[in-house]
Amino acid sequence: MRGVLHAVLFFPLRTDASDVRGFGTAAIVIANVAVVLLFGFVDPFFDLFKSTSAIEQLIHDYGVFKPWQWVTSAFTHGDIAHLASNMIFLITFGLIIERHLGWFRFLCLYFVLTVCSGATETLLFRSGGSYGASGAVFGLIAMAWIWEPQREVTVFIWVWRYVGTHQVTVRGLAMWWIGWQVFYGLLQGFSLSTPVLHLVGAGVGLAFGLLILRCRWIDTEGEDRFSLRDAEREREKSRAPYVPPPPPQRSAYQHAYSWIGYLMAVTAASLIAVGLLLVNIVDWASRETRDGAVGRTVIGFVMIGCGAWLFRKWQLR
């Protein structure tokens, strides 16, 4: 989220899920502020909360394998604007997600998001580093997108001389922010950058959101994206007038094909009947040569086999 408040254009203020007792969300915010008070900012301006030597151990360093940094880096921020912007989005979307999970499961989910985002970054990049809660926050944004796309969010807008608030849906807000990350990522060739790290967090959150939803570990009361889509399809079906199907019309090819089927059945029955007749009329005790009896018997069984094969083909048409 770094740079959101620098532009001062667009950020959420509150959501109609504000009636939720967001103990889990509040705990994460307090933890982020506590890390700043203890270790300072990574890149402070105006010498506000200068960084300590220990803060380098908290930043996610891609060059070394330190799994604990996957979590600690999510609580480390560059400056006051970086911290404030992440916490604003965390409060808005954290309340939406915590509403379905409760405070304990929400804290566990946030921990899993930070771990998985950090592990993914370690696999993708071999040098550099990252810090900030934006990866996990974008994961929450992606989850809210599919869990409650129609929930309304009040956003603050400052565009040139216009300053005010506006009501938008979670879907619109999520598409706006994730879409901007894709745009900036394209401009930078999807190299190591802030937009790419945001997209990594969004991808992890989307995967976990779909998993939780498909496993029915939560009840969205029909407000998730898939339930809304199915309900809309049912409404479209109920509004559509009934149109009786047209009478079947058979083409010349279909007529010919049906006659071929009749011929196949008749031919198969004829082959089987003639084959049985040849086998039964052979008299091995007569004076006829043994070769003649054997020949008729073999021909009879061949005809029976051909008839059975043709009958099977007729059944499979």
pLDDT in tens, 222-265: 889 999 988 888 888 777 776 777 766 666 656 566 767 778 77
Query: Is the pTM value of this prediction over 0.75?
Result: no
Q: How confident is the model at residue 4 (pLDDT cuts 50, 70, 90)?
A: very low
* pLDDT recorded at residue 6: 40
- Average pLDDT (7-18) is 70
* pLDDT recorded at residue 207: 95
* pLDDT recorded at residue 208: 95
- Asked if pLDDT for residue 144 goes beyond 70, the answer is yes
Contact of 153 with 173, CB cutoff 8 Å: yes
* pLDDT recorded at residue 34: 95
Dist. CA 61–CA 64, nearest whole Å: 6
The token pair at 154 is 């009040």
% the chain with pLDDT above 70: 84
| 74 CB-near residues (< 8 Å, 6+ apart) | 114, 117, 118, 131, 132, 133, 135, 136
Dist. CA 45–CA 191, nearest whole Å: 27
* pLDDT recorded at residue 263: 80
- CA 309 to chain CA centroid, Å, is 48
Question: Which residue in 76, 95, 80, 49 sits closest to 134, CA to CA?
Answer: 76
Question: Which residue in 108, 106, 203, 200 sits closest to 146, CA to CA?
Answer: 203
Dist. CA 172–CA 151, nearest whole Å: 10
Q: DSSP H helical segments within 40-169, as ranges?
A: 69-72, 80-101, 103-124, 134-147
Contact of 103 with 26, CB cutoff 8 Å: no
Q: How confident is the model at residue 142 (pLDDT cuts 50, 70, 90)?
A: very high
What is the overall mean pLDDT for the chain?
83
In CATH terms, the fold of domain 4-238 is Rhomboid-like fold (1.20.1540)
Neighbour tally for 75: CB within 10 Å: 21
Beta strands in 160-248 (DSSP E): 162-169
**Using one digit for the tens of pLDDT, what is the confidence trace for 175-207?**
988 998 988 888 887 778 888 899 999 999 999
Contact of 153 with 82, CB cutoff 8 Å: no
Lowest mean pLDDT across 35-49, 64-78, 193-207, 260-274:
260-274
For the chain, domain boundaries: 4-238, 253-315
Alpha carbon distance, N-terminus to C-terminus of the chain:
62
Neighbour tally for 255: CB within 10 Å: 10
- Asked if pLDDT for residue 287 goes beyond 60, the answer is no
Neighbour tally for 112: CB within 10 Å: 14
- State the chain's maximal CA–CA distance in angstroms: 122
* pLDDT recorded at residue 10: 74
